[in-house]
Amino acid sequence: MLEFDDIQHFLLTRPRAMAARYGFLTIRNAAEGRAWLSGIIEKVGTGKVVAAGAAGDTRWVTVAFTWNGLRGLGVDEASLATFPEEFRQGMAARAEVLGDTGANHPNHWVDGLASPDLHGIVILFARDVAERDRCVREHQQYAARFPAVRALSTLDLEATPPLEYAHDHFGYRDRLSQPVIDGTGEVPTPGSGAPLKAGEFFLGYPNEAGVTQALEPEILGRNGSFLAYRRMQEHVGAFRQFLQQHGRSPEEQELIAAKLMGRWRSGAPLVLSPEKDDPALGADPQRNNDFNYAKMDPHGYAVPLGSHIRRMNPRDTAANMNRRRMIRRGGTYGPPLPEGAPEDGVERGIAAFVGCASLIRQFEFAQNVWANDRTFHELGNERDPIIGTHDGTLEFKIPKRPIRKVIKGLPAFTTVRGGAYFFLPGKRALRYLAGLTTRG
């Protein structure tokens, strides 16, 4: 039985938030850090509380820490040593494994995200911008009492119009394929697979291999998850220019955009609608995820083998998929670039979290093998066209009868501007952290 009254709501619920702020923190003094944490714990919503108050709530708070942050709060070395190696190292140190090279390298990261001084994050989701700003002011007043808990940086996020559905700055509909956790009562949409064991996402429960992951002491790990944060700039001007360069008509351009993703920008999957867009299909959760590759599109004539969704969720063309699934949360930042407007040089993109129980087995595998392995599916010289690391030397192949189309010199449509690994503790663990007295 999942402890909904202890697990932070972040990976369990998805309240309708139109604005957010991520506050990145450094803790200069353990006792003061714990005092700050003590006062904020009551604001942190659990799965149970947030689900119950879904209609009336206007803001949702989440707190998580880096390994350095846990040390900064006074967690002892024996306990710190029980955290997985990749988490202890932190995302910046794992850059090569993740493919964060060239322009994506941590040397270029912003917000202090590559710094060992990054200790924690407060994630605030709010119903709208006004509510976010009110909460920010309230927290600023509170935090002023703890000068040793300092903001390294902040990032404000707002939904990108049109607001009727979630999508990124490129215009792709988002939140189409998310795993369902066993025990939540949620029913998977057709094509989404059976619910996954809670241990794939939360420590303290059996995972798909029947193993229960834990930390020492048990209270610290139980109901916790690991988060991989990625701030990814989207080069909307370059993306639109690319579509114009490779598509003679607006229809052809839409098809190229769809081939890169594996879905039309409306969300309609190419497997089910290979020739033309079908917005009604894209918007219908009972149909828009109901497809496979091995039987329905083995050669990639609909969805190219190297397209984004075929890499990030190979469905029935990969082994042990149940051990690789992740839960995504996040949103868009920066102003939208109006259609037809030239690139304005303003940074815009996605700032998202990937939640899982094992960063190395789930998130790092997806980055290392699915996104950035050039030989994935025997492709030879490709990476994920949307989130892979690109320097203009790779290609993208679109299977087509009689002869495939090869786009050479694929540009980078995104740049990683920062990232970090966080541990998202349960609420009892937050109280345990706040109550530590071992160090000063």
Partner 1 sequence: MQNDWTKPAAVAIPEGGFFKAKVEQGRYGPIFPKTPACYGFSILAKIKPGTKQNFYDYAMRIEKAVAETPDCLAVLKLHYLRWVLFDIGKDTYFMYQGIFDTDFDKYTEDAVSIFTRTGLRTVFENLEGFPEDWHTNAPAFIKFVRDHQCPSFLEYGEYPYVSADEVKKALRLKAAFSNMLDQMQ
Site string for partner 1, 92-121 (x = CB under 8 A): ----xx------------------------
Using the rule CB under 8 A, is 368 a contact of partner 1?
A: yes
Cα–Cα distance between 117 and 119 in angstroms, integer?
6
Cα–Cα distance between 71 and 119 in angstroms, integer?
9
CB 19 within 8 A of CB 132: yes
Residue whose structure tokens are 């939904």: 159
Using the rule CB under 8 A, is 406 a contact of partner 1?
A: no
Q: The tokens of 19 are what?
A: 């604005």
Rounded to the nearest whole angstrom, what is the least distance from the CB of residue 210 to partner 1 in the complex? Answer: 9
Kindly tell me which residue out of 39, 81, 85, 335 binds partner 1, with binding defined by CB under 8 A.
Answer: 85
Residues 319-338 within binding reach of partner 1 (CB under 8 A): 319-320, 323
Rounded to the nearest whole angstrom, what is the least distance from the CB of residue 393 to partner 1 in the complex? Answer: 15
Using the rule CB under 8 A, is 88 a contact of partner 1?
A: no
Kindly tell me which residue out of 375, 400, 409, 439 binds partner 1, with binding defined by CB under 8 A.
Answer: 375
Query: Of 41-49, 59-67, 81-89, 193-201, which segment contacts partner 1 by CB under 8 A?
Result: 81-89
Kindly tell me which residue out of 195, 369, 395, 399 binds partner 1, with binding defined by CB under 8 A.
Answer: 369
Nearest CA to 329 out of 123, 129, 162 is that of 123
Cα–Cα distance between 89 and 182 in angstroms, integer?
31
Rounded to the nearest whole angstrom, what is the least distance from the CB of residue 48 to partner 1 in the complex? Answer: 30
Site size toward partner 1, by CB under 8 A = 20
Rounded to the nearest whole angstrom, what is the least distance from the CB of residue 230 to partner 1 in the complex? Answer: 17
Rounded to the nearest whole angstrom, what is the least distance from the CB of residue 320 to partner 1 in the complex? Answer: 5
Nearest CA to 69 out of 437, 428, 427, 420 is that of 420
Rounded to the nearest whole angstrom, what is the least distance from the CB of residue 211 to partner 1 in the complex? Answer: 5
Query: Of 74-82, 123-131, 296-304, 366-374, which segment contacts partner 1 by CB under 8 A?
Result: 366-374
Residues 181-210 within binding reach of partner 1 (CB under 8 A): 209
Strand 120-126: give its sheet, edge to edge: 149-158, 19-27, 120-126, 59-65, 414-424, 225-234, 349-356, 327-333
Using the rule CB under 8 A, is 310 a contact of partner 1?
A: no
Rounded to the nearest whole angstrom, what is the least distance from the CB of residue 387 to partner 1 in the complex? Answer: 18
Q: Residue 183's CB: how many other CB atoms inside 10 A?
A: 16
Kindly tell me which residue out of 3, 6, 57, 86 binds partner 1, with binding defined by CB under 8 A.
Answer: 86
Using the rule CB under 8 A, is 361 a contact of partner 1?
A: yes
Cα–Cα distance between 240 and 253 in angstroms, integer?
9
CA distances from 184 to 9, 74, 225 (A): 12, 34, 16
Using the rule CB under 8 A, is 360 a contact of partner 1?
A: yes
Nearer to partner 1, 158 or 364 (CB): 364
Nearer to partner 1, 5 or 96 (CB): 96
Cα–Cα distance between 154 and 111 in angstroms, integer?
7
Residue whose structure tokens are 């989207």: 234
Residues pairing with 225 in the sheet: 424
Burial readout 86-108 (b: 16 or more C-beta within 10 A, e: otherwise) = bbbebbbebbebbbbeebbebee
Helix (H) or strand (E) holding 384: none
CB 268 within 8 A of CB 407: no
Kindly tell me which residue out of 156, 216, 373, 395 binds partner 1, with binding defined by CB under 8 A.
Answer: 373
Rounded to the nearest whole angstrom, what is the least distance from the CB of residue 113 to partner 1 in the complex? Answer: 20
Position 210, amino acid = G
Nearer to partner 1, 163 or 294 (CB): 294
* CA dihedral (58, 225, 153, 232) positive or negative: negative
Rounded to the nearest whole angstrom, what is the least distance from the CB of residue 353 to partner 1 in the complex? Answer: 20
Q: The tokens of 105 are what?
A: 């390298």
Cα–Cα distance between 279 and 48 in angstroms, integer?
34
Cα–Cα distance between 282 and 423 in angstroms, integer?
34
Rounded to the nearest whole angstrom, what is the least distance from the CB of residue 324 to partner 1 in the complex? Answer: 9
Nearer to partner 1, 23 or 90 (CB): 90
User: What are the helix and strand counts (H, E) for the chain?
Assistant: 14, 10
Nearer to partner 1, 89 or 253 (CB): 89
Cα–Cα distance between 400 and 72 in angstroms, integer?
56
Using the rule CB under 8 A, is 393 a contact of partner 1?
A: no
Nearer to partner 1, 238 or 369 (CB): 369
Q: Contact positions toward partner 1, by CB under 8 A?
A: 84-86, 96-97, 209, 211, 318-320, 323, 360-361, 364-365, 368-369, 373, 375, 378
